[in-house]
Each structure stands twice: as C-alpha cells, then as structure tokens.
C-alpha cells in the first residue's frame, strides 16, 4: 500500500505540472489542496468530532487543536490584511477576508450545520478527506451536501431580500484597529481554551496523546522513527492545527483564505441544471467574499476546483502511505440515512451561512470578522442538539 502511495504522490506531482499549464493558480492550488488533505488525514482533524465530543465525552482534544490553528492564522492574517488595507476605516474590508453579514441566517445556518455534521459523522472538509480514505458513508454524506447546497441556491434570493441584504458586515479592525482586533481575538481564543480545560476537568474524559516509544538512538533508528511519526502514526492534533493555520496564511498570501463550500455550490448548481432545475441568478453575491454560493463561470478547471479535489487526493496519499486506506462500508443501513440527512442539513446551512467549518469559522475568526464567532457559537448549539439525538440512535 505504501508503494501505491508513493506512485500516487509522483502522479500528483506530474498532475501539478500539467495543471500549472492550465493556469499558474490552478497548479498552485492543487499543491495546497494536496497539503491540506494530507494534514487533515494525518492529524485526523475532524471538526465534527471537535464540537460533538465536547458534549458527548466532555473531551476538548480536537477543539484545542482548532483553537491553536486559528491563533496562528490570526497573527498571519492580521499582518497580511494590514499590508493590504493600512487604514481599516469603517465601510472598508480587506480583500478576500472571510467577513460576511451577521444575522439570523448565520445562526440558523450554524445550528443546521452543527446538527447535520454530528449525524453525518463529519463536516464538509471531513467528508472530503474521508472520501480519500475510503469511507463509503462519506460519499453518501457528500451527495447530501450537494443536495442541501442545491436547496440553498434555490432559496438564496429569498434570504437575500428578507435578511442577508440588510444585515451588517462587522469587521473588528474597523473600530478597534488591527492591534486591538488581533489582541481581542487572541484573548477570546485563550478564554475558549481555558474554558475547555475547565470543562474537561469537571465533565469527562481527558484524552492525552498516546505516547509513542522511540526505537533506538542511532541515526537509522531515528530516521525510521521520523518516518513513522510523519507518515505512519497519527499526528498530535495541535501539530495538525498549527500546520493548517500556517498553510491557511500561505494560501491567503497566494490569493485567499481557505474555503471549500463556494466551489461545491458550483457543482451543486451544475447538477441542479442537469436535473432540469436551473438555479436563478443569485442576488448580491458579487458583493460578498468568503465561501458565498456561486453558479460558476465558463471555466471548468479553476483554482478552487483543484483545491477541493486536491484535498481528496492528498488524503488518499496520506492514507495509502500510512497503510490506512480501506473501503469501509457502514454496518447498518441507518448510517446511510444519517449521512444523507446530515449532509443535506450541512449543505443548506453552509449555503445560507456562506461557508462551512473551514470558510465560515476556521478562516473567518482569523479574518477578524464577528461572523466567525457567531457561526462558531451556532455550530456549538447545533452540535449540542445533534448529540442529544445521536445518543438515541444505536
């Protein structure tokens, strides 16, 4: 299996060179996609678990990794945004920053998404990297996500007229400056971290990383140990979070923060057209950044496409190198129902909230937008509800 991983890695490299011929960014984003997928797979970076396990087991292991990643990205994003927009006057927002209107759509979207990801056993990024690992249920969940995004495309204009078009975009540097916004964000992340420490101590299960024994101290053994640490065993979750945070900064340097949903909504629009229900022209989306719904342009191969597909490929390579790839078929038919219904809720939630756990949370809080916090708290509420239901499904 390791050999297959090496061969696939080489093929992915060749594909990268060919894609660069299509467009410089198309190739670059392919490389980013591979890296994101690889790191997600290696560190089992599951946002659904992060939110769910707080309530199910009283464990904040993965959430602490997410907080670390966002803290790193906050610093990088702040430096980058202050170079692009030296004076963050009211009404101005840094280009490509994931700042979107704050309102009911964000709260409802977050609750639906949080509930759905707990049922489906993974969020959108989670489903993508698990497809690469061979999980059949994640394909089903992904189908649900496309369906949910399709529904969101058809109801977007109603949402825009009713609410989103009038909801305020709140970018913290506009009134606190970059220093103030960065310090406030880091302080809130620290508070969240401490809250989790307290929650774990009173509630439940503290899951320390399983220590791995070194084999020997000579060079060959240490080399083998390094190989095992990087490619065979799971990474500590904080290592994963920080690596994703750094990759996110680099992606923003290259073009834009990490996001997934916008591209997948383009696929949903395509399927909707094929099914004979073409979605209408979307109101207001050209004024919005982040992972806002899109119908797509004329080009098929875009940088966002290679980013998302690259994530699946990167995860597949990681799983093969680790000897973890396996076609996994759910043992009960009800798991398929959970995957598809959870997927639909996630897709619709991500559609109206303009992003998933990545674009509307992991990239939004470092973008210094209030929307990231509102969406994050709504995810928490949705996951709490999801856990109450999940406990009753054997």
Partner 1 sequence: MKLDVRGEVCPYPMMKALEAMRQLPEGELLEVLTDHPPSLETIPPLANQLGFAWKIVEKGRGQWAILIAREAGIIEEALHA
Comparison of 65 and 109: residue with beta carbon closer to partner 1: 65
The strand pairing partners of 135, in sequence order, are 328
Applying CB under 8 A, which residues contact partner 1? 1, 44, 46, 48-49, 52-53, 56-57, 61, 121-122, 130, 133-135, 137, 205-210, 234, 319, 322-326, 328-331, 335, 390
Place of tokens 């190989």: 227
Q: How many CB atoms lie within 10 A of CB 67?
A: 23
Comparison of 95 and 323: residue with beta carbon closer to partner 1: 323
Distance from chain centroid for Cα 366 = 13
CB of 160 to partner 1, least distance (A): 36
CB of 164 to partner 1, least distance (A): 33
Comparison of 138 and 182: residue with beta carbon closer to partner 1: 138
CB of 387 to partner 1, least distance (A): 9
CB of 234 to partner 1, least distance (A): 5
Comparison of 301 and 393: residue with beta carbon closer to partner 1: 393
- Which two structure tokens, joined as six digits, stand for 158? 């109603």
CB of 328 to partner 1, least distance (A): 5
Give the integer Cα–Cα distance in Å for 97 and 355: 13
CB of 216 to partner 1, least distance (A): 21
Give the integer Cα–Cα distance in Å for 144 and 38: 24
Comparison of 92 and 205: residue with beta carbon closer to partner 1: 205
CB of 306 to partner 1, least distance (A): 26
Comparison of 2 and 287: residue with beta carbon closer to partner 1: 2
CB of 49 to partner 1, least distance (A): 5
Which residues have a Cβ under 8 Å from the Cβ of 28 and sit 6 or more positions away? 20, 254, 303
For 137-143, the CB contacts below 8 A with 24+ separation are: 137/328, 137/330, 137/335, 137/336, 137/339, 138/339, 140/336, 140/339, 140/340, 140/343, 141/339, 141/340, 141/342, 141/343, 141/346, 142/343, 143/340, 143/343
Alpha helices (H) along the chain = 2-22, 24-42, 47-56, 61-84, 104-120, 124-133, 136-162, 173-203, 219-227, 237-254, 261-274, 303-322, 333-353, 370-390
Comparison of 234 and 349: residue with beta carbon closer to partner 1: 234
Comparison of 53 and 96: residue with beta carbon closer to partner 1: 53
């Amino acid at each position: 299996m390791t050999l297959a991983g090496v061969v696939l890695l080489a093929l992915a490299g060749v594909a990268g060179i060919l894609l660069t011929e299509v467009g410089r960014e198309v190739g670059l984003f392919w490389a980013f996609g591979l890296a994101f997928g690889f790191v997600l797979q290696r560190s089992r970076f599951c946002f659904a678990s992060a939110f769910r396990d707080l309530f199910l087991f009283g464990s904040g292991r993965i959430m602490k990794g997410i907080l670390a990643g966002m803290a790193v990205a906050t610093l990088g994003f702040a430096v980058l945004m202050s170079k692009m927009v030296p004076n963050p006057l009211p009404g101005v927002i840094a280009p490509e920053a994931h700042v979107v209107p704050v309102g009911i759509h964000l709260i409802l979207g977050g609750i639906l998404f949080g509930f759905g990801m707990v049922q489906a056993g993974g969020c959108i990024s989670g489903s993508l990297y698990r497809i690469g690992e061979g999980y059949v249920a994640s394909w089903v969940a992904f189908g649900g996500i496309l369906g949910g995004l399709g529904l969101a495309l058809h109801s977007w204009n109603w949402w825009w007229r009713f609410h989103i078009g009038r909801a305020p975009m709140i970018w913290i540097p506009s009134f606190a400056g970059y220093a103030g916004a960065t310090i406030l964000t880091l302080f809130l992340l620290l508070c969240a971290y401490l809250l989790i420490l307290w929650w774990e101590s009173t509630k439940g299960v503290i899951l320390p990383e399983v220590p791995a024994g070194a084999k020997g101290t000579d060079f060959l053994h240490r080399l083998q140990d390094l190989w095992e640490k990087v490619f065979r065993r799971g990474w500590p979750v904080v290592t994963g979070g920080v690596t994703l945070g750094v990759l996110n900064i680099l992606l923003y340097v290259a073009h834009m923060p990490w996001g997934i949903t916008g591209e997948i909504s383009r696929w949903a629009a395509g399927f909707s057209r094929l099914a004979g229900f073409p979605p209408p022209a979307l109101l207001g989306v050209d004024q919005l950044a982040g992972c806002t719904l899109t119908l797509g342009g004329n080009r098929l191969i875009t940088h966002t496409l290679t980013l998302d597909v690259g994530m699946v490929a990167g995860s597949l390579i990681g799983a093969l190198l680790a000897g973890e790839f396996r076609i996994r078929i759910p043992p009960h038919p009800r798991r398929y129902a959970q995957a598809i219904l959870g997927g639909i809720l996630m897709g619709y939630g991500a559609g109206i909230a303009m992003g998933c756990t990545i674009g509307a949370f992991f990239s939004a809080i470092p973008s210094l937008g209030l929307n990231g916090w509102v969406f994050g708290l709504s995810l928490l509420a949705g996951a709490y509800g999801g856990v109450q239901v999940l406990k009753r499904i054997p």
